[in-house]
Copies of this chain bind each other. A is one copy, B any other.
Amino acid sequence: MANFHYNPHISVDCVIFGFDDERINILLIKRKQEGKNIYALPGDLVRKGEDLDHAATRVLFELTNLQNLYLEQFKTFGSPDRINDPLDIEWVNSIREHPEVRVITIAYNSLVKVEDVEFAPASFAEEVLWHPIDKPQKLAFDHNDIANTGWAMLREKIKREPLIAFSLLPEKFTLRQLQTLYEAIVGSSLDKRNFRKRMLRNKFLVALEEKQSGVSHKPAQYFKFDEAIYKEDFAKDQWFLF
């Protein structure tokens, strides 16, 4: 790690969401400690003089090699006893210059297209993995609280501004992918015909020439999300899916 000065009181943690055409996953960091696998959200201390959003952007970039991602601060966690598991305390003692100070962490949600991610041989991560958001997994520190809150707030946010869900899809996608994504977000299944009817009302969904190939059934048409059309023709809340 280069010779940066860190503010020992403030950190950022990132809940990074990705969609694999089936479920929504988050990125976790795995570390080995006393023979156990410990999972945690990616995060880092904020540097002296560094803006909070910048710190989050930096963590994301170091981990995924991506920039200009959807990124939103969603809550700050500052309970004085955020760190109380002996293993976590030991870990903090081993990596922090000032392990005794109270750290408050600003949590961010981020959305990535999984196929764009290039896992860097990250300096601070032993292993990085995608974990389904709806599959329970004990995390270090208060990261279960952080991840659950982030997921709840993301769902609310997307219900209000469904636009941002497109950050989770590839450039071209089928309506089936889009529907599966929305089903994962609302947590229930939707009627195919009604879903298409509503979606295709939105002019910013444009059909491409291209079709699926190599699938053993009628190939689906690809669509893209046209941001220019979206911005021209649609005020923020002129469309609502839910």
Contact = CB atoms under 8 A, between A and B. Distances in A.
Interface in A38-77: 46, 48-52, 73, 75-76
A78 B51 contact: yes
Query: Which secondary structure characterizes the binding site on chain A?
Result: mixed
Nearest to A72: B75
A51 B196 CA distance: 47
A80 B160 contact: no
Interface residues of A, number: 20
A7 interface: yes
Find the residue from A48, A73, A78, A79 having the highest chain B CB count within 10 A: A78
A165 interface: no
A80 B9 contact: no
Contact of A78 (B10, B75, B80, B160): B10
Interface string A160-182: 10000000000000000000000
A46 B75 CA distance: 17
B7 A102 contact: yes
Contacts of A78: 10, 46, 51-52, 106
Nearest to A156: B160
Given A9-B9, A10-B9, A104 B160 contact: no
Interface in A79-112: 79-80, 102, 104, 106
Contacts of A51: 78-80
A50 B51 CA distance: 24
A160 B52 CA distance: 28
Contacts of A104: 10, 52, 104, 106
A12 to B, nearest CB: 10
A84 to B, nearest CB: 13
Nearest to A161: B156
Interface string A3-24: 0000101100000000000000
A232 to B, nearest CB: 23
Contacts of A80: 49-51
A76 B50 CA distance: 14
Contacts of A75: 73
Interface in A130-188: 156, 160
Contacts of A48: 102
A8 to B, nearest CB: 9
Contacts of A50: 80
